[in-house]
Amino acid sequence: MDEKFLGKMADKSSEEHYSPFPEGYKIGKTKYVIITGSVISGIGKGIFSSALGKTLQDRGLKVAPIKVEAYLNADSGTLSPYRHGEVFVLDDGTETDMDLGSYERFLNMKLTKDNFTTHGQIYQKLIEKERTGDYHGRDVQYIPHVTGEAKYVLRNLAVKSKADIVLVEIGGTVGDFENLFAMESARQMIYEEGSENVCLVNLTYIVEPNHLGEFKSKAAQLGLRELMRLGLQPDLIVCRSQHPVTETIKEKISLNANVPIEKVFNTYDVGNIYELPLSFREQGIDEAIMKVLGWNDKYKANGSKSLKEWTDKNIVKKKGEITIGIAGKYTGTSDTYISIVKALEHCSTKLKANVNVKWIETTEIEKGKTTAEAELKDVDGLIIPGGFGTRGIEGKIACAKYVREKDIPFLGICYGFQMAVVEFARNVCGIKGASTEEVKKDDNTNVICILPEQEEVKDLGGTLRLGGFDIKLKKDTKAWELYGKKDSARERFRHRFNVNTKFIDKLEKCGLIFSGMAPEKRIMQILELKDHPFFIGIQYHAEFTSRPLNPNPVYLGLVKAAIKNKK
């Protein structure tokens, strides 16, 4: 595009165009793959983006992913796990959608706030700039101002990351009312950057009604028509399905979307998601994208050798099996604890042992509909995950007591760490009514209290103790051994409460070992028991730093202990 025209678009004057560019930005230096969805949400755009990124990395490309969320929340921190799955926390403290976890695991990257945005963030920035007069008296409109700010986010990531290619995942589906300006921003990006610098990929779901026993593509066709109605012509279409689709289905999609049949692909459900990058390579998905972007010869695949080696290591054959219980109160959907499940998968691959998960709803134990003994009698290890509020905590405490007394390997995460402290205080230290300030106000019995810096905090969003912090490890402890006998470790936190310093000495005198703490403050971050096969509590979320082929050491220790316990 003409440079003079681009400069005119970036001008904050009374011109009709407003498309700000970060300092140093040059069109064509970074290219974009924009990924949209149609028919239904939840078809795996995040996994597709992650797996695609892995194939592009294999070609020697520097990849920067970004998730563009449609909701008006400023971040994912205040969203219910039931509605949106887990809140994933980045090292810089940004609370994000769980897809950022997929990106980090597949791409082995440490992402930042620049890799995530919501429409709420974009509106927030827009209003701030309007209040300070940055729009030079213009009436602020969806076009060009909202779309201009949305495009700036993508270009800013391109400059900061110095990436060869930015993978843009637009949340939701085509046709969502709240997604309209994101789609319009994508259209404008293609116009301004040039079609040779942007590849548009649409994931569409092909339904297969059980009562018919055959595929139906009409819903997919309508979704694609809606995409084109918005001025967006896909370069590639990826048909998502439960089983491999027929060639006839591909032909129908090709005809209705003006996309050549050789650019219509199919990804169906597989047993192991780490098979996907190699599958994409074998189908030619990444090659087709490279051709759209004019990179036919510049970035050759590494003969698929390195990608195949990575895949083979992630899908090793396993012998034997163990069962790990996850005792929480959001067990209605596995997305709530997806990073925990993935961390266990990483350990399963590393140790070549099948790890089954048993979901235990602690609210049912609390209500007396079942017991900790009944739920835990067949598990080889237990995880009590994080959470908030009062519901289900007595069920968690009962589970912690059972595994402590029965020598079953245990890992308490965040709230699970705190519940282990409460249980120990009640049943070993004899502190009657020991509890947490999250449940009741009682300075005499609350062994868990609010962090001092959190006492005056009123708002919920983004106010927790968030992000990566260093942990000082106590020598000659289990935690010290797990982290390779190092003096410190770095993990990611998301909490507001902490062990009450008034009770630390008594808890330690009774046998609780605090083997990890904050370097500067008296914040207890790891606990353990000496005469137990494996009893570890962590105030942080170790699952966020677990990676394929490199499991987090705390999870690896738990699974090893569970395998030993099984034998």
For the chain, what are the domain ranges?
Answer: 22-294+302-313, 321-448+497-514+527-566
* Residue 523, SS3 per DSSP: coil
The pLDDT tens digits for 120-156 are 999 999 999 999 998 888 889 999 999 999 999 999 9
The pLDDT tens digits for 253-311 are 999 999 999 999 999 988 899 999 999 999 999 999 999 999 876 676 655 678 999 99
**pLDDT for the residue numbered 332:** 64
The reply to whether domains 22-294+302-313 and 321-448+497-514+527-566 share a CATH topology is: yes
**pLDDT for the residue numbered 459:** 62
Q: Which of 279, 289, 332, 322 is nearest to 166 (CA)?
A: 289
Q: What is the DSSP letter of 304?
A: T
| Of 211 and 310, the one with more pLDDT | 310
Least confident of 8-12, 162-166, 211-215, 428-432: 8-12
* Residue 84, SS3 per DSSP: helix
Upstream peptide bond of 144 is cis (omega within 30 degrees of 0): yes
The pLDDT tens digits for 63-96 are 999 999 988 988 888 887 777 789 999 999 999 9
389 pLDDT higher than 80: no
| Of 190 and 455, the one with more pLDDT | 190
Query: What is the pairing mode between strands 535-538 and 524-529?
Result: antiparallel
**pLDDT for the residue numbered 39:** 84
**pLDDT for the residue numbered 277:** 95
Into which CATH architecture does domain 321-448+497-514+527-566 fall? 3-Layer(aba) Sandwich (3.40)
Which residues form the catalytic set?
414, 541, 543
317 pLDDT higher than 50: yes
**pLDDT for the residue numbered 13:** 44
**pLDDT for the residue numbered 331:** 67
Are the beta carbons of 171 and 216 closer than 8 angstroms?
no
* Separation of alpha carbons 399 and 401, rounded Å: 5
**pLDDT, average across residues 187-198:** 96
**pLDDT for the residue numbered 18:** 74
Into which CATH architecture does domain 22-294+302-313 fall? 3-Layer(aba) Sandwich (3.40)
**pLDDT for the residue numbered 40:** 84
- What is the Rg, in whole angstroms, of the alpha carbon atoms belonging to the chain? 26
Q: Which of 496, 283, 467, 488 is nearest to 389 (CA)?
A: 496
* Separation of alpha carbons 17 and 2, rounded Å: 14
